[in-house]
Amino acid sequence: MKSRSRKVFLPVVLLFVIGLCVGAPILYLHGRPAPIPVKQTLRDGVEYQRIVRVLPRPMVIHVLKVNMKAKGLKIVITPPDNPTSDKPLNARTTSQFLEEFDLDIAINGDGFSPWWSRGPADYYPHAGNPVTPRGEAASRGTVYGREPEEPFPTLYISQKNTLSFDAPNRTYDAISGETRIVQGGSPVEVANTEVHPRTAIGYSKNGKFLYLVVVDGRQPFYSQGMTLEELANLMIDLGAHDAMSLDGGGSSTMVIRGGDGNPRLLNSPIDLYIPGRERAVANHFGIYFKK
């Protein structure tokens, strides 16, 4: 009798172990891009690349290379909801920004305040809450973020889509970041060696190509994140001559318009330490193509 029970029990245990081995990775990766390298053309002038590294730690990197001369290309920086207020923006997720302004590409932008994250029931902002960008910001000639006492790097975009970190005589579009990481083709030395999710933006020496990068992080065995030094070297390897990091951590998000017309996450954001959860942030950098 014991022998018969053992014969029945062992296959059940074996099936359970096999199911666990197959099902656990599927459950863990649910809602995230598969950690396999990808390189594809999304449309004329836009190439997407997913880079997967295992050393010095797991990293999943998302890159959009955009030809700034592509037909119909237009840039959108989140416009102010209340231009004269000390909190000129209502927080949105990056997907909400893309959908609201009918865009094709979007990433998160500048750091902002107020912000806190004490738990699933105690965080700020929620979508729609008023916030202030930390650095200089402008959307189509309307300046709503002023340069603070502690300066942050700012990318300026002209009506003709020229990109520069040098302040123009008249500001059209502008978005600020956290740290200048590449200047004149060389990495900028930074003291920060912490590993986090990262967002970066940069452009080639002749300004023809724009590089949008998001590195997933805070997700063990999937992607832990990058240091700023690693991010700078990555941007240079991609072809960036000048670049800055944007707001990182739980804010890092990259979205495109999917084939069904709805926002499609390219990365795995990590707001509130929940994989796939987007954070509502202040401003964003977006692109659409006029038809």
Q: Which string of DSSP letters, residue by residue, matches 114-155?
A: S-EEEETTEEEPPTT-EEEESS-EEETTEEEE---SS---EE
Find the mean pLDDT for residues 221-226. Answer: 98
Q: Report residue 291's pLDDT band, with 50, 70 and 90 as the boundaries.
A: confident
Indicate whether 41 and 26 sit together in one domain: no
Residue 257 near residue 266, CB atoms below 8 Å? no
Indicate whether 16 and 53 sit together in one domain: no
Question: What value does the mean pLDDT of the chain take?
Answer: 92
Host domain of residue 7 = 1-30
Find the mean pLDDT for residues 129-137. Answer: 96
Indicate whether 117 and 257 sit together in one domain: yes
Residue 266 near residue 254, CB atoms below 8 Å? yes
Indicate whether 7 and 75 sit together in one domain: no
Find the mean pLDDT for residues 113-122. Answer: 95
253 pLDDT above the threshold of 90 = yes
Specify burial of residue 35 (Cβ count, 10 A radius: 0-12, 13-18, 19+).
Answer: buried
Indicate whether 249 and 199 sit together in one domain: yes
Indicate whether 77 and 168 sit together in one domain: yes
Q: Report residue 151's pLDDT band, with 50, 70 and 90 as the boundaries.
A: confident
Amino acid residing at 280: A
Indicate whether 150 and 275 sit together in one domain: yes
CA–CA distance, 42 with 289 (Å, rounded to integer): 12
CA–CA distance, 142 with 98 (Å, rounded to integer): 20
Task: Using alpha carbons, select from 182, 195, 247, 250 the residue that is nearest to residue 226.
Answer: 195
Q: Report residue 9's pLDDT band, with 50, 70 and 90 as the boundaries.
A: low
Kindly report the length of the chain.
Answer: 291
Sign of CA dihedral 285, 250, 147, 151: negative
Residue 270 near residue 121, CB atoms below 8 Å? no
43 pLDDT above the threshold of 80 = yes
Indicate whether 161 and 221 sit together in one domain: yes
Q: Report residue 28's pLDDT band, with 50, 70 and 90 as the boundaries.
A: low
Find the mean pLDDT for residues 199-215. Answer: 98
Indicate whether 11 and 93 sit together in one domain: no
Indicate whether 10 and 90 sit together in one domain: no
pLDDT tens digit sequence for 78-115: 999 999 999 999 999 999 999 999 999 999 999 999 99
Residue where the block lists tokens 């305040």:
113
Find the mean pLDDT for residues 7-19. Answer: 49
What percent of the chain has pLDDT above 90? 86
Q: Report residue 38's pLDDT band, with 50, 70 and 90 as the boundaries.
A: very high
pLDDT of residue 16: 45
**Lookup: tokens for 94:** 């990056």
CA–CA distance, 120 with 134 (Å, rounded to integer): 24
CA angle 62, 110, 246 (to 5 degrees): 35
pLDDT of residue 24: 42
pLDDT tens digit sequence for 229-242: 999 999 999 999 99
CA–CA distance, 142 with 145 (Å, rounded to integer): 9
Q: How far apart are the first and last CA of the chain?
A: 76
Q: State how many domains the chain has.
A: 2
Indicate whether 62 and 84 sit together in one domain: yes
Indicate whether 14 and 43 sit together in one domain: no
254: which strand partners? 107
7 pLDDT above the threshold of 70 = no
pLDDT tens digit sequence for 52-74: 999 999 999 999 999 999 999 99
Q: What is the DSSP letter of 181?
A: E
282 pLDDT above the threshold of 80 = yes
Amino acid residing at 39: K
